[in-house]
Structure 1
Amino acid sequence: MSVGQGASLNGFVPFPSSNLWNTDISAAPVDPNSDNIINFIGSTVTLHPDFGAGTFQRQTIGIPYQVVDTATQAMVNVTLGLYADESDPGPMPIPSNALIEGYPKPGNGDRHVLTLDRRGCWLYELYHASQSRKGAWSADSSAIWDMTINEQRPYTWTSADAAGLPIFVGLARYDEVAAGAINHALRYTVPTTQRAFVAPASHWASTVTNPSAPPMGTRLRLKAAFDISGFPADDQVILTALKRYGMILADNGSAVFISGVPDDRWNNTDLNMLKTITASNFEVVQMGTIYTDANVPTGPSPTISSFTASATSVTSGTPVTLSWNESGAIYNIISPTVGPVRGASGSVTVFPTATTTYTFYATNQYGRTTQSVTVTVH
């Protein structure tokens, strides 16, 4: 991956090839409820690329991102608000000039901030992010994703997206299109979803129980027989991905809007040709278990056997080793100052300059366990 705002990933695909975002579903069966779901969405609703070049109402079109290297980008704390109890704590390598969705005039929309760390291969995502005049970051929710594994958030937890999914992996990026292939599913929205989710989603955002309403995570696929030969070359890359990988329902929003990255290299005239395609040209890929209030999976949260400091009373700047041992976690975070860490057991060195309580967060699909240790600086 290159470093910078909207930098090229140079062929890197987040998450393993076995991840559901990266799975070829071109030959997967059609869901038996497909027609009902398409009709609920609206069979005559047209596909809409929610990304492009330039601006609309003084906002860039799409969801931006930045790639950093934590060898040079400092980790910073993020103050969490509305969904703090379902968020991943900082610190995070958010640059002071990070692009907020809707820049240069973000307004009161979703205000996502997406940051990839190429050194650690972590993805950091914020929802409704803001930066104070002094440069401090805050957000209503946050999620940290390990791009080397098939990470899942706890069932019924949100992320920076309503479905509990990562956002970045579902974006159409110009560098992919220019290279000739999008090798993952795309993200899309509809106005009304069901109070339910299917994999890979883990969260719903609705009170609607109509079985024809699509659950979060519903995957639509462009029908194999749909002729894409008359579309511009860039559009054909997008449409080929919609046949091979489909698009995954990630949020409530405008009908069949697919997400991408703002980039002045997009040809908006070509992208607008996608609006000639209606929802009737799509089908629902067979869904697995549909999770509702009645059958959300339950199980044990991780177990933390120990989380210790090599010294608990030190002078300012003295190195202190934090060590942990856990079982059953999918991902771990130490807050503050450290961030995500890998391994069921391990250690890191910190250099506290003030009395600090360090907390170890171990998370899996069933919940989160924490343990803390305080290092007093005198």
Structure 2
Amino acid sequence: MLPVLAVAAASIVAGCPVFPASNPWNQDISHAPVAPRSAAYVKSIGLRAGLHPDFASTTYGIPFRVVPETQKPVPIHFTAYGASSDKGPYPVPLTAPVEAGSDRHVVVLQRGTCKLYELFGAHRAGRGWNAAAGARFDLRTGALRPARWTSADAAGLPIFPGLARADEAVGNGEITHALRVTVPRTQKAYISPARHYASPSSNPDLPPMGLRLRLKASFDTSRFHGQARVILSALKRYGMIVADNGSPWYITGAPDRRWDDDDLHALGQVSGSAFEAVQTGAIER
């Protein structure tokens, strides 16, 4: 029998809930049972690799933009995963920030409608955008994408709900949701709310997309302070969700001048051996 998980109140951004309180991103998994293959999953990710904040006080991270309900939709042309992308147009202005690096994510939240629009591999093109993939999410309902559909993330998940945001960590002193994390290799499987896999491997010791990981309750956080301690507290209570293939233990956040980069750098002292995988749902293939 799968566990019944506690929930927290959903955070509010631009007057919109970041999914209902009962949504998996908002579930307290501090007492969820350890997954049977936890040790193998963690070993495959990296026992010695350190936790890495993939965001900073500069432009490093995945930015997002809040737009008004009156934002004009623009054409979106999909170049790779059109069959599993939500068709445009999207209310994504040409001035929307693009993530630096090869993934080139664009994330836009619309006031009033409380719809989230995300692009992967985005490039401005004429009056709109070219993108490898795109997805639309309703922040009020948290409805899942169709089975085996990707999104702007490999796992078919939304990106925005898994970002570490300074308005929470600095402004409120706590993060009340799971964080997005990347791992080097995954298996050809996923756990809800993920909807898609991005691997040909049938190795059961590799993590499936959507796997939930948490910082062990026994890990001593007393030597950390400030924003690093806030993040570690969230990783004990809400954990992180495997969303993409990438570097080990890279947690994602939005760039913000309020981040203290020295605090964030201290997170590298936390090695993979401090984490465990928890059981939150059935593995789907």
TM-score normalised to structure 2 length = 0.93
Aligned to 1:311: none
Aligned to 2:74: 76
Aligned to 2:136: 144
Task: Using CA pairs under 8 Å that are at least 6 residues apart, name the structure with larger relative contact order, 1 or 2.
Answer: 2
Q: How many Å separate the matches in 2 of 1:287 and 1:212?
A: 17
Q: What is the correspondence of 1:164-183 to structure 2 with a 5 Å cutoff?
A: 164-178=156-170, 179-183=172-176
Asked if 1:19 corresponds to 2:23, the answer is yes
Q: How many Å separate the matches in 2 of 1:81 and 1:70?
A: 27
Aligned to 2:187: 194
1:84-119 alpha-carbon deviations (Å, 9 max, x no partner): 0100011111112000001xxxx5x11000000011
Name structure 1 gaps, 5 residues minimum: 1-7, 55-59, 293-378
Q: CA deviation at 1:10?
A: 6.3
Structure 1 residues 144 and 249, CA gap change in structure 2 (3 angstroms): same
1:183-221 alpha-carbon deviations (Å, 9 max, x no partner): 110000011111110111110000111111000001100
Q: What is the correspondence of 1:1-378 to structure 2 with a 5 Å cutoff?
A: 9=13, 13-54=17-58, 60-71=59-70, 73-102=71-100, 107=101, 109-132=102-125, 134-178=126-170, 179-292=172-285
SS at the partner of 2:13?
A: coil
Q: CA deviation at 1:9?
A: 2.4
Structure 1 residues 83 and 205, CA gap change in structure 2 (3 angstroms): same
Q: How many Å separate the matches in 2 of 1:26 and 1:12?
A: 26
Q: What is the CA RMSD across the aligned residues, in angstroms?
A: 1.3
SS at the partner of 1:145?
A: strand
Count of equivalent residues: 273
By percentage of residues, which structure has more strand? 1
SS at the partner of 1:37?
A: helix
1:282-305 alpha-carbon deviations (Å, 9 max, x no partner): 11011421112xxxxxxxxxxxxx
Q: CA deviation at 1:146?
A: 0.5
SS at the partner of 1:266?
A: coil
SS at the partner of 2:168?
A: helix
Structure 1 residues 13 and 232, CA gap change in structure 2 (3 angstroms): farther
Amino acid of the structure 2 residue aligned with 1:118: R
Q: CA deviation at 1:242?
A: 0.5
Aligned to 2:6: none
Q: Alignment identity in percent?
A: 52
Amino acid of the structure 2 residue aligned with 1:172: A
TM-score normalised to structure 1 length = 0.70
Q: Give the number of the structure whose alpha-carbon radius of gyration is greater.
A: 1
Q: How many Å separate the matches in 1 of 2:73 and 2:185?
A: 37
Q: CA deviation at 1:136?
A: 2.4
